[in-house]
Each structure stands twice: as C-alpha cells, then as structure tokens.
Structure 1
Amino acid sequence: MATLATYFGLGEQTHRSLDDVRMNLEVLKYCATVLFLESSLCITAEEVEPNTAQRNPFDMGQLSNEMEESYELSSTESSEMYSVESSAVAVSDGRSDLAGFLEPNEVLIPSICASFVTFSQRIQLFHEGFILRLCCSHLEVRFGISKNFLDHAGRPRLNFVVNAPESLCKVLDACDRIARKLSSDLVSSSEWWPVVIRKDGFVNNPTVRLHIPYTISGDNPYQTEMYQKDSGGMQKLVFSKYDAAELDSLFTPGTFVDAFFSIDPYDYQQSAGIRLVAKKLIIHS
C-alpha cells in the first residue's frame, strides 16, 4: 500500500488505523480507475477538426484530479447532517482554492479531447491531459431559477440561465462536437441537446444554463459554494435548507456572477448533452 500510495502521490503511510483505512480506499480507487481507463475510448479534437494536435488524456495528473473530485463528493454524501441558520460568513477571497479552472481564452481547442471512462460509465472531457473545467467572470443572468422543471423528488431543478460571451461559446461548441461524436461512436440513440442555447430571436445573444447541485446530507443543502460580493468585500453564503425561492432571489435577471463550473456530459432517458455544474458562484450585489 505504501508503494502504491507513493506512486499515486497520496502521501506517506502513517500506520494509524483510521488513516490506513482511508489510504487503502484511495489506493483501491486509483488502481481500479487505471485498469478501467486502459479500456476507455478516446475522441480528440483532431478527429472532429482535422490538422490539429492530439493529446494523451491518460496521464497521472488528470487521474489525480478525477479521484480528488470523486473523494470530495463521497465525503459530502457521507457527512453527518445537522441544521444551521442561514447566514453570511466573511471570507478574504472566493477564488483562492480553485486552481485548475481555465478561462475560455486559456483553452486551446485542439487540446480538448473526450474519453469514455468505463469506471464511471460516462464521457469525460479533458484539456492537455487534465479534466476540463472553466471559470468566467461577470456573466449576466438572463433568467433566474425556474420552478417549471422538477427533479425525480418533485423539487425544482436548480438551473439559471446566463448570457454566454463569444469566447465561452467557442469552447463549449467544441466540447459539444467532440463529446457528441464520441457519443455517436458509442452507438447512443439519445437525442443530443446543444449546451449553448441559440433560440429564434436570440441567435446573436446565446445563453448557457448553469446547474446548482444539491446534497442529501451535510451542513449545506447545496454542493455549490456561493459568495456575495459588494463594495465592502466578499461573504460566503450558508443556507439552512433547500429553498428554490431563496436562491431565485439571488439570481435575478441583470445580476452578474463569476462562475466556476465543470463540464459534465450526460446521457439519460434518451436525452444527452453537456451539463454545466457550478462548483463556485460569486454573486455581485
């Protein structure tokens, strides 16, 4: 275990019972992922757009990012539930722990590729060997959270719509093409829904939909970290319960947000596409 932990960059073995159990689990997850990635399919930008450079999506840096993300999710789901009052906690910087999120103009289109990861049974998008995640500043909210669309538990889906700048559309359109081609090669019969929304009358004003995931346990009902920023500084928002109306009051049309989000392809009930999942949102008052 110590040798494998060193190889995967998990740190040193402490020979304490609980720490060893945790490290054993991490080593097992890394080994399983490596074995399944060996049989993964990969589609690169070169196969969608000729004369571009192909990148290797199977390096250890990318694997480390994916396993860290998996560990964060499992830790959130397994934490003990308790209630807190809705409040705001002062913070110095809402961006400090978000290394690895690229601005659209930092993304090289030929370096984007998609791989079907058998371990998680989903398509994953990469950029230069790392999981592709984006950040965009001053996105203007066009439509707040709608109560017309419900999830399987009957709760409103926590999505809101923002205007998409050209630089973001360029990257997401490329992701769409690459992921859709891989989905087609996997013989999916689902209808593909473009991530960039270009409706009649709004062709020159494209939009994208950002999703706020919720949790079923823990001290916060939402997985997304949310901050409010004004002339006085930045405050972290903490919520005591799942409340779509409370969130909707924050994301009113015309409000600007800085968004840090993952790019998650999905294929569910004959519908496929890319979902933009907000990891952190900074709301400008």
Structure 2
Amino acid sequence: MKQLDSLAAYFGFEEPVHRSLDDVRMNLKVVKHCGAVLFLESMFPKILPQTSWISPDEVSIPSMYAIRASFYDGNPKIRVMHHDIDLKLHCSRLNVQSEISKFDDASSRLTFMVDASSLLCEILNECDVHAEQRYKHCGGNSEWFPIVRKNQVRLRLKGRGGTQIERHQNGSFTNQRVEYNNFDFAELERLISSGNFVDAYFSLDTFDYMKKAGIGLVTDKLIIHQVLPNVLF
C-alpha cells in the first residue's frame, strides 16, 4: 500500500481512504497516469529523455548488489542492481581498440573491444564479484569469465530490437538502428573501427553458454565519433 500511496501523492491525487472500492479506483488512476508517462517517454525521447543510464562517477559502489532474475535452460540469470534498480551505464569517449567481429556462437553476436577507465574497471570488477557470488549461490557451475581484461571491455550490439547508432562527424549527427538480422557488416566495420571513439549506453546481461558464464555489456545506443574523414555511414 505504501507504493500506491507514494504514486498517488506523486500525481497529486486525493488522500486514499483504504477501502476496497476506493483502492481499486486509485489503482486504475495510477495505472492510467503511469501508462501515459511511459507512452510519452517512448514517443518523445528528446523531450522526456531517458534517465536510467548513469555515468561511472555517479555510481556508489557500496550500493551495488546482485539478485537472481530467473533461470534459463537450467542456469541462473543474475541482475546487477544499483540503489534497487538495474545498473545501466553511460560512458563517453571510449577508444575503440578492435574492429567489430562476429562472436563465434549460434547467436552470431556482434562485438568490439574498447579501452576502459580505471573507475569503469573498478565498477565492473565489483559487478563481477557480486554477480559471480550470486550465480554460484544459485547453483551455477560454469566457468566465470571476468568483464575486464587488460583494462579493456567487450561491448555487444543489441540483438532483438537493435542498437541505435549515431555518427558524429563535422558537427552533425546521422541516425540508424542496427538490427541483428538486418545490417551491412562491411558498413559496420567502417563505422566501428580502431581509432574511433564511442559514447556507449549499455546494460549488464549475464550469459551462460557452453560452460562459460559471465556478464555481457549490451549496448542500447552508440554515438560514434569518427576520426578519419570521408567515412561513409
């Protein structure tokens, strides 16, 4: 009931009286208003920008922890939390260290490596500790692979729904949504190449495949800052 009262107060509704019919009516009003907010956020992202991604310097490491989300093919899925919501990070000017490549598994995932700052490494290493402990506690028995390797991390393009990609060159932006089943690989190789920089918005998704487990960094959005001129999008 505290959650209902909090939402009602947020939208400026009258004081709940905690009777069954009144509670039902209040629930309907809250759901309608929440739905309207979510609809507006999806239709007008620039007017109501997403605020779920935070930069590394906004992360409170003591406020991080991991919980079991579900089981997939008998293996536990783990969520990394920060202040009771899923941890999603926004990092600027990450230096691309490798061209995009196809991950050698049945999903044909597209990945590339970037340099990680010391703060980002610290945060992701802590994510590894929490996620692996929870994974083992929930019965996972695959070998755990760390996110950070030699101060670099692997970013993965989003499969279902696609990763939104923007190119920033000469002060202008170009937008394109890359779908996992609808892309020009040669075009992506030119776009995501060593020496360019990216602003990355990514979430943490645990995987468990062929006895290998760990955390994948799945990009919802990339802004590519191209260094080389005359690169076609």
Tell me the TM-score normalised to structure 2 length. 0.73
1:170-203 CA distances to partner (integer Å, 9 max, x unpaired)? Answer: 11000000001111112211000000012xxxxx
Shift in Å, 1:245 = 2.1
Q: Distance in 2 between matches of 1:8 and 1:273?
A: 41
**Distance verdict in 2 for CA 1:193–1:175, change over 3 Å:** same
**Which of 92, 104, 109 is the matching residue for 1:137?**
92
Listed as ranges, the matches of 1:94-105 within 5 Å are 97-105=49-57
Matches of 2:158 and 2:172, distance apart in 1: 26
1:209 pairs with one of 128, 147, 154 = 154
- How far is 1:237 from its partner? 2.0
Q: Call closer, same or farther: CA 1:245–1:184 in 2, change over 3 Å.
A: same
- Report if aligned partners of 2:163, 2:177 keep a CA contact under 8 Å in 1: no
Instruction: Please list, as runs of the form range in 1=range in 2, the aligned pairs for 1:45-124 lying within 5 A after superposition.
Output: 97-118=49-70, 122-124=77-79
Conservation of the 8 A alpha-carbon contact between 1:210 and 1:276? yes
The 1:136/1:11 distance shift into structure 2, 3 A limit, reads same
Alpha carbons of structure 1 residues 227 and 271: separation in structure 2 relative to 1, 3 Å: same
Cross-structure match for 2:169: 230
The CA deviation string for residues 82-107 of structure 1, in whole angstroms up to 9 with x for no partner, is xxxxxxxxxx97x9733110111110
Q: Give the Cα separation in 1 of the matches to 2:100 and 2:25.
A: 45
Q: Whose radius of gyration is greater, 1 or 2?
A: 2
Q: Could you say if the C-alpha distance between residues 246 and 118 of structure 1 is closer, same or farther in structure 2, counting changes exceeding 3 Å?
A: same
Asked if 2 retains the 8 angstrom alpha-carbon contact of 1:125 and 1:131, the reply is: yes
Paired residue for 2:82, among 127, 135, 145?
127
Instruction: Tell me the residue number matched to 2:210.
Output: 269
Name 2:5's counterpart in structure 1: none
Root-mean-square deviation over aligned CA pairs: 3.1
In the aligned structure 2, how far is the partner of 1:8 from the partner of 1:162? 46
CA distance in 1 between counterparts of 2:28 and 2:209 reads 36
- Separation of aligned partners in 2, 1:229 and 1:7: 44
One-letter code aligned to 1:211: R
Corresponding residue SS for 2:114: strand
Contact 2:77 2:135 in 1 (8 A): no
* One of 255, 275, 282 as aligned partner of 2:196: 255
| Closer, same or farther: CA 163–185 of 1 in aligned 2, 3 Å | same
More strand as a share of residues: 2
Cα distance in 1, alignment partners of residues 78 and 85 from structure 2: 14
SS for the counterpart of 1:97 is coil
CA deviation string 1:208-266 (max 9, x = no partner): 00000234xxxxxx611110112332221256832322211111101000000001122
Q: How many residues align?
A: 193
Structure 2 regions of 5+ residues with no counterpart? 1-22, 227-233
Find the aligned partners of 1:125 and 1:3 in 2 and give their Cα distance. Answer: 34
Which residue of the partner structure matches residue 115 of structure 2?
163
Q: 1:176 aligns with which of 118, 128, 132?
A: 128
Structure 1 residues 227 and 183, CA gap change in structure 2 (3 angstroms): same
Which digits, 9 at most, give the CA deviation of each residue in 1:2-50, with x for residues without a partner? 939938953269xxxxxxxxx9xxxxxxxxxxxxxxxxxxxxxxxxxxx
